[in-house]
Structure 1
Amino acid sequence: MTASTELATWLVDQLVERGMTDAVLCPGSRNAPLSFALLADERVRLHTRIDERTAAFLALGLAKGSRRPVAVVTTSGTATANLHPAVLEAAHAGVPLVAVTADRPARLRGTGANQTTDQVRLFGDAASFADLVVPSPDALAAAWLPGGPIHLNCQLDDPLTPEPDSPERTDPSDRRVEGPITRDYPWWRDPDDDEVDVLALGPRTVVVAGDDSGPPARTLAEQANWPLLAEPSSGSRTGKNPIRTYRLLLGTDLGARVERVVVFGHPTLSRPVMRLLARKDVEVVSVRAQGRWPDRPSPVTSEHVAVRADADDPAWLEEWREADRSLGRRIDAFVAEQPGLTPYDVAAVVNAANPPGGLLFVGASNPIRDLDLMATAHPVGQRRMVLANRGLAGIDGTISSAIGATLGRPRSTRAIAYVGDVTFLHDTTALVIGPDEPRPDLTIVVANDDGGSIFATLEQGAPEHASSYDKLFGTPHGVDLAALCAATRTPHWRVTDRAELEHALASPNGGIEVVEAVIRRDNRRELDGAIRALAD
């Protein structure tokens, strides 16, 4: 067995023993030993992609959907740099993405050898790191840190293919796994009793559930009779405590009367929530989040591993619930009155189409904010998985992540991806999938308003910037999505009203399909302003 084959085979064994069941491979010469080792291991479901950025986000989605570590394997040079966006997302969201990069031997570093660059700690402190020359349990164990990405840089020397008629695998009895083993990574672990702190009752309190907060946020809100301000990807927007219209209600008298906020996860969607956390008259209780999040935007009064509370006076919760029901009815009536398909219609229909046990992957910018406003909470026993790349909240690799998350879940699960047109176009290589590759049953809903309408809702969309808006922010593209889908043989439907969209989502055909929901962009700012006015 060659030295490179031995290192590659050993490393695949170690990754499998640590819980890896899927790996994503990008073709290359230097990483050929890793490629052969992955293909030879029947314990690994191997996915091949031609674009490293797409591959990395596919691996990220697989890790989020399966809750297991997933490797993305590349050759040397620029291939490694294309993993950086997904590594950063994984670092901030606490996802165990394993970047396995092939490298030249150390003697060729700095010599100008073809396709070489300095790959040592290429991702900085965003990933733990090991530079592997030979099988080294100690080096791997030191790099295998929980709660984020791992970069394993493999120095692979010639020959890069297995020797003829030589065994390509070590005997399973020779495997020796060192260090912590992560076969499943739960987003929410059960804390030890001595880690749970009891919160005093009395202050008017709301529970804010950001991305990946999980059931603990809902549990606390229900224990204490507190309003739950839960983002769609929090994993806690179920039961009777979530306040659907919380972003608008925070600007009313109810929001002004908040005295304490208990924060789970990482809230990213709402400026009103950020302003609430920054208020000097509000006590902020932080429950430690997964991943490498920055400090809260206000001084944290106290930080905890886990918290609980006894039942508080339910009158405060009832005020929020009554205001929420009333405002929700006004919003729904306003949306129903609008001619044509609106982005709020799309969000409501997508939310209704996600069945119990289903998976919804939501893109950044307007789609997740529209879903936040329009999605009503489901009963506790009918949980859906709602995922999003909220670590850095970029549009990179969203379709790839959605495909990966769906592949990481059971085949019987209904899966929907809900994205904007710019997000879709940013990751069209996600649809470039070989004929023998695993394909999920995934309906991709694209809210197409021909450009970046998120900026219309921000200060950049103010009337005084109208002359420069499209060039700098709106960026209309005029792409024919049907033709784009045809190039990759992806089924495509174009809908222009709510009934057509409901019909398209009611009967998925299987495999990957795209439903293009055509909406307007020119009235986005006015629609948002009218909805905000309903809370006054």
Structure 2
Amino acid sequence: MAEQQVPSVSAALAVVEELVAGGVVEAVVSPGSRSAPLAYALEAAERGGLLRLHVRIDERSAAWTALGLARATGRAVVVVTTSGTAVANLHPAVLEADAAHVPLVVVSADRPAALVDTGANQTTRQVGMFAEAVRSSARMDAASPDALRAAVRRLLVAATGVRTGTPGPVHLNLELADPLVPAQPLAAVERVPAGWQVSRPEHPPAPLPADAGTVVLVGDADPATGAAARALAERGRVPLLSEPSGNARVGECAVAGYRLLLPGPLGQRITRVLCLGHPTLSRPVSRLLARHDVEVVVVGGGDRWPDPGHRVSRVLGAVELEPGPEGWLQEWLTADRELGARLAAELAARDGLTGPGLAAEVATSLRADDVWLLGSSSTVRDADLAPVWRSTGPQVHANRGLAGIDGTVSTAVGLALGTGRGVTALLGDLTWLHDANGLLIGPGEPRPDVRFVVANDRGGAIFATLEQGRDELAGSFERLFATPHRVDLAALAAAHGVVHRPVGSVAELRELLSRRIRGLELVEVRLDRSGRRELDERIRALA
């Protein structure tokens, strides 16, 4: 082929072909000179129908979009950048992918090693930039396409976790020398080398009796793990305590208000926790997992399992839970029904919508084929009080690996593009503003359908419920923690061509939520956070 005379393009084609052979079908790229060979190769593969390419101006948004695509599909997604500060902009998403076990493949273009530390333009030390956040990394040049292909295979094995059971990010740093463009336009890449496969042995489920005192606890988890947790609890007839993004707040064993019940008498009678996913959301759960009188058994989790309380005694690939006494489950369900009624009455007695009330309205509007993304801070905790779904629930996601607010808009876009469905994203105003560049999508790019339901209380309500919100610290609270702003969300939405829909009542909200999601839209719900601390205290007292 004519392009073989350009080593940088040959190397880029080898990388892209091997990624496709390993199952990659989505890639995100940002513009740059050093990464030009990779951009040309990806575009040629897209023209050949082998993958879908997404272009983003902002590398930070590109990485979070790729993370959203990987969350949606469960497959490794590639994000490509040029050299220099561009690579550093991927770091927040790489950290989240590491903690949340999301298969993200970073391919960074670099200058030849001889130029590092010489002051050459746009040259920095890219090797090791992500340190221990990546499962594996490789530093390669364009000298041997065969060596490149082998490196890509190793990296994909690490990213997908097929040997360890723990997916995560990997980093290929590719040194590319001039010339960086093909001698002539590349032909469409329509075929790649034969695929390859690596697998790991499956272990039979371990039998375990479901004694009174056993609960199934689900942290942040993908839909498959959530479904497995639900089946486990229902087979054993034990309470199912799931965070909103655990994809297990559904079924006859699910307990909606578990967070409020854990500090009480029922919670104190727990003797064994079967833990799935990554639980991080609430302090009552953290205290439960640190108790010395509770056996903590991790189910699944690969080679990286959660143990924040340092109490895990067993890590099992799978469990077969033998049915336990029905009375234990019924006590939890009865307490949950009574608590739910009191919570509904408390929220109904207040003027206007509250954070928990908004989350409940959004939750109850969603169906089995919907996709829900939750922002960090208050919104995901408000969703943790929403009613559970009794038969089927939506697919739920949240960036709970490190629980940051960054990248949420771009993650929602990636989820919508990856699932091919409309996504409802519930988030706060600061979270939406923090990643407003995620709305910056070029006119020729695939268009997502995302409804951003933004709880706009003009600041951060989460700190009002924490120690910083105590009355005696009120003097510095607004400036240092609430961080109020004067941004006109409607004007910012209009600047990006996003439809703005203000909401003034519960009836208006319900009507908007009933509509089909088309394109990008902002549903702005104004909330008053002045009484947030008092509301939180009253809700905790309900149990």
TM tier relative to shorter chain: over 0.9
1:176: Cα distance to partner?
5.9
- After TM superposition, the structure 1 = structure 2 runs for residues 148-159 of structure 1, keeping only pairs within 5 Å, are 148-159=168-179
Question: C-alpha distance in 1, partners of 2:17/2:226?
Answer: 32
Instruction: Give the conservation status (yes or no) of the 8 Å contact 2:83–2:122.
Output: yes
Counterpart in the other structure of 1:473: 481
Counterpart in the other structure of 2:400: 390
Alignment partner for residue 280 of structure 1, among 292, 303, 311? 292
What amino acid is aligned across from residue 219 of structure 1 in structure 2?
A: A
1:180: Cα distance to partner?
3.5
What amino acid is aligned across from residue 431 of structure 1 in structure 2?
A: L
Counterpart in the other structure of 1:9: 13
Question: C-alpha distance in 2, partners of 1:171/1:505?
Answer: 42
Alignment partner for residue 30 of structure 1, among 10, 24, 34? 34
1:169: Cα distance to partner?
6.6
Report whether the alignment pairs 1:262 with 2:274.
yes
Counterpart in the other structure of 1:21: 25
Report whether the alignment pairs 1:64 with 2:84.
no
Question: C-alpha distance in 1, partners of 2:479/2:262?
Answer: 34
1:149: Cα distance to partner?
0.8
Counterpart in the other structure of 2:261: 249
Counterpart in the other structure of 2:541: 533
Counterpart in the other structure of 1:418: 426
1:325: Cα distance to partner?
0.2
SS of the residue corresponding to residue 385 of structure 2 reads helix
Unmatched 5+ residue regions in structure 1? 182-188
1:291: Cα distance to partner?
7.9
Question: C-alpha distance in 1, partners of 2:297/2:227?
Answer: 17
Question: C-alpha distance in 1, partners of 2:323/2:284?
Answer: 27
Alignment partner for residue 162 of structure 1, among 158, 163, 182? 182
1:310: Cα distance to partner?
1.1
156-165 or 289-298, which moves further after superposition?
A: 289-298
SS of the residue corresponding to residue 241 of structure 2 reads strand
- After TM superposition, the structure 1 = structure 2 runs for residues 5-404 of structure 1, keeping only pairs within 5 Å, are 5-41=9-45, 42=48, 43-127=50-134, 128-134=136-142, 135=145, 136=147, 137-144=149-156, 145=158, 146=161, 147-164=167-184, 172=191, 175=193, 180=198, 192=202, 194-212=203-221, 213-289=225-301, 292=304, 295-379=307-391, 382-404=392-414
Output the aligned Cα RMSD: 1.8
Between the two proteins, the alignment pairs up a number of residues equal to 520
1:49: Cα distance to partner?
0.6
Instruction: Give the conservation status (yes or no) of the 8 Å contact 1:98–1:150.
Output: yes
Counterpart in the other structure of 1:185: none
What amino acid is aligned across from residue 388 of structure 2 in structure 1?
A: T
Distance 1:291 1:378, change over 3 A: farther
Instruction: Give the conservation status (yes or no) of the 8 Å contact 1:142–1:179.
Output: no
What amino acid is aligned across from residue 360 of structure 2 in structure 1?
A: A
196-205 or 360-369, which moves further after superposition?
A: 196-205
Distance 1:95 1:259, change over 3 A: same
Instruction: Give the conservation status (yes or no) of the 8 Å contact 2:415–2:423.
Output: no
Q: List per-residue Cα deviations over 1:64-112 (Å, max 9, x = no partner).
A: 1112111111000000000011011111111111111000012212211
1:179: Cα distance to partner?
6.6
Question: C-alpha distance in 1, partners of 2:413/2:245?
Answer: 17
SS of the residue corresponding to residue 280 of structure 2 reads coil
1:164: Cα distance to partner?
2.6
What amino acid is aligned across from residue 534 of structure 1 in structure 2?
A: L
1:497: Cα distance to partner?
2.1
Question: C-alpha distance in 2, partners of 1:302/1:292?
Answer: 13
Question: C-alpha distance in 1, partners of 2:452/2:56?
Answer: 19
Counterpart in the other structure of 1:459: 467
Q: List per-residue Cα deviations over 1:104-128 (Å, max 9, x = no partner).
A: 0122122111001011121112111
Q: List per-residue Cα deviations over 1:249-268 (Å, max 9, x = no partner).
A: 11211111111111111111
What amino acid is aligned across from residue 442 of structure 2 in structure 1?
A: G
Question: C-alpha distance in 1, partners of 2:204/2:278?
Answer: 20
SS of the residue corresponding to residue 312 of structure 2 reads coil
Instruction: Give the conservation status (yes or no) of the 8 Å contact 1:443–1:508.
Output: no
SS of the residue corresponding to residue 343 of structure 2 reads helix
What amino acid is aligned across from residue 217 of structure 2 in structure 1?
A: V
1:170: Cα distance to partner?
7.2
Return structure 1 stretches of 4+ with deviation > 6 angstroms.
none
SS of the residue corresponding to residue 451 of structure 2 reads strand
1:290: Cα distance to partner?
5.5
Distance 1:414 1:142, change over 3 A: closer
What amino acid is aligned across from residue 389 of structure 2 in structure 1?
A: A
Question: C-alpha distance in 1, partners of 2:190/2:440?
Answer: 37
Question: C-alpha distance in 1, partners of 2:301/2:431?
Answer: 27
Question: C-alpha distance in 1, partners of 2:189/2:72?
Answer: 30
Question: C-alpha distance in 2, partners of 1:260/1:509?
Answer: 42
1:140: Cα distance to partner?
2.3
Report whether the alignment pairs 1:483 with 2:455.
no
Instruction: Give the conservation status (yes or no) of the 8 Å contact 1:362–1:368.
Output: yes
Question: C-alpha distance in 2, partners of 1:35/1:291?
Answer: 34
Alignment partner for residue 454 of structure 2, among 432, 446, 469? 446
Question: C-alpha distance in 2, partners of 1:287/1:66?
Answer: 23
Question: C-alpha distance in 2, partners of 1:316/1:205?
Answer: 9
What amino acid is aligned across from residue 207 of structure 1 in structure 2?
A: V
Counterpart in the other structure of 1:184: none
Distance 1:377 1:357, change over 3 A: same
